[in-house]
Amino acid sequence: MAPDLELTNPSRLVLNIFPSATNACRRRLSNVSGKTTMSRTVDVDLESAKVAAAEREELGSKNAAEYEQVRPTAYLDGLRGLAALLVYFSHNVPWWYGFEGGIEHGFGYHGERMLATFPFVRSLFSGGASAVAIFFVMSGYVLSIAPLRMLCEGRTTEARWHLLAALIKRPFRLFLPVAAISLVFALVMQLPFGMAPHLEWPKPEPTLSAELRRWTKELGLTINPLVEHGQFTHWFCYDPPAWTMTAEHRGSMLVFSVLATFSFTRVKWWIYACGFTALLMLVVYQWELACFLFGLVLAINDLEKFDQAILASRLSRQSQHIFYHFVFFAGWYILGQPHGVREPELSYGTPGLYFMTKMLPSYYYNNEFWRFWNTIGATMLIYGTMNIRWIQSFLLWPSLRCLGRVSFSLYLIHIPIAWTIGDRVCRLLGVVRQDFTTEYDGLLAIPDVGPRGFSTGLLVWQAVVLPLNLLLASWATKKIDKPSVAVERWIVARLGLARDSSRP
């Protein structure tokens, strides 16, 4: 899960609205390289301008004005918020129905058919793994778009300072919120007078000092980029989703290193080098790093419009729209591959996924097999989102953008809340999951009527727990997340590296 990154950089939306800025960037590229190979044809520029004008006309003057008042990549806030919500539901829904309740299976697996497992719909209930891949690809894009723009404009020195500052800020941005939220949970586990939550896992230590020692050790392992983290390796017992922060850190370092290398090379080779390296890493089970590199590929393409140079000369405007929609929905379908246990039969036993599963590289069969297609599907879905205006318009809804702003905190707090308050409310409603009993089990039991994923019990439970999660996530964003941003900026300023922040 990526934290709420600064999205003040250009995207395809700005390049379409302001084609003159695009042409200026290309002229600078030509001056830097001494050649005109980086310039696009006049036909492509005219086609882009026509498409942008037509799309603005379709949206209407009001919506078009709204687009120009928000950040170019503001729709990614909405996508980030939706992805965080998918992670939340993927952990909460099985808590209600049980982890062997069948809702994690594919539609038609061994004859099982539920609405919640239907392709596309299943992402809402078991889309946590696919959301993680979306987070990683988005991070690769957002981390690279600003320095890439600087390099395109010939501001090489500024780009290197930007990368150095980002390299220093990134660990603080990722791990300070993790440390603060997990410390609060560790202290809650030691509350006196019987107020401490009863947990089956992790078991509380006998004393507060022992708890803090374990917290320090576990946090050190989580921060260590050389330690493998994940569902089947090391989990941070105070906040399991924090394993993705280590992957974010490694992926960020890779992106910064690649961009630093780019500052010494010719632009035209960037997308080929990144694309080949990303595919190679994906095949050898370095899917996390591959996600970041695919995000970098999307950023290069977003600035240089390699795809439009190809598509505009071969497809009509309507055919291009069909192509973008096909990529988006195909990626969404691929992201619905069943996951959770290291048994590929869970996937190829699902109708429609047999051949896709059999195409997996051998490295994935005894590991988390779903990560291969999740990486490809996330890249396709984000690419489609970047080219489909009505999806961007949907993601710009204020409620989704607000959800995006608290998504990092929601991602980090939802498991500790599920273990404590969420479990107690669940027990009140008559569902017991952990191996102990309390005096209020079933006190407000209600009939659980309806199809799985939409039953009355789950809906009532979430009507109580989800707003609580959002309120606490909002509080954590203000009190923990934003101060961590201030700390990282202060450190960079003290080191004299804040000069690059003066420009977008």
Query: The whole model's pTM is what?
Result: 0.84
Tokens of 107: 């539609």
* Predicted local distance difference test score (pLDDT) of residue 101: 67
- All residues at 6 or more sequence positions from 494 whose CB lies less than 8 Å from its CB, including other chains: none
Cα–Cα distance, 202 to 449 (Å, whole number): 32
Does residue 180 contact residue 480 with C-beta atoms inside 8 Å? yes
pLDDT, tens digit, 9 for 90 and up, residues 423-455: 999 999 998 887 778 888 889 999 999 999 999
The secondary structure of 170-201 as a DSSP string is HHHHHHHHHHHHHHHHHHHTT-TTTTSPP-SS
At residue 336, what are phi and psi to the nearest 5 degrees? Answer: -85, 10
Strand partners, 229: 234
Q: Which of 67, 150, 42 is nearest to 503 (CA)?
A: 150
Query: What are the backbone dihedrals phi and psi of residue 393, each rounded to the nearest 5 degrees, phi first?
Result: -60, -40
Q: What is the mean pLDDT of residues 335-342?
A: 86
**Mean pLDDT, rounded, for 152-167:** 92
Please give the span between the terminal C-alpha atoms of the chain, in angstroms, as a whole number.
24
Task: Please compute the mean of the pLDDT values over residues 475-493 and round it to a whole number.
Answer: 94
More confident of the two residues 14 and 308: 308
Nearest to 107 by CA among 445, 274, 349, 289: 349
Would you state the pLDDT for residue 267? 76
More confident residue, 181 or 432: 181
Bridge partners (DSSP) listed for residue 43: none
202 prior amide bond cis, ω within 30: yes
- Residue-range domain boundaries for the chain: 12-502
Question: Average pLDDT of 331-348?
Answer: 89
What's the half-sphere exposure (Cβ side, CA atoms, 13 Å) at 142? 25
Res 339: pLDDT? 85
What's the CA dihedral at 407, 412, 418, 421 to 10 degrees? -90
CB within 8 Å of 40: residues ≥ 6 apart: 26, 305, 309
pLDDT value of residue 3: 57
Token pair listed for 143: 């981390």
On the question of pLDDT at 135 being above 80, the answer is yes
Strand-pairing partners, residue 234, are 229
Contact 383, 302 (CB under 8 A): no
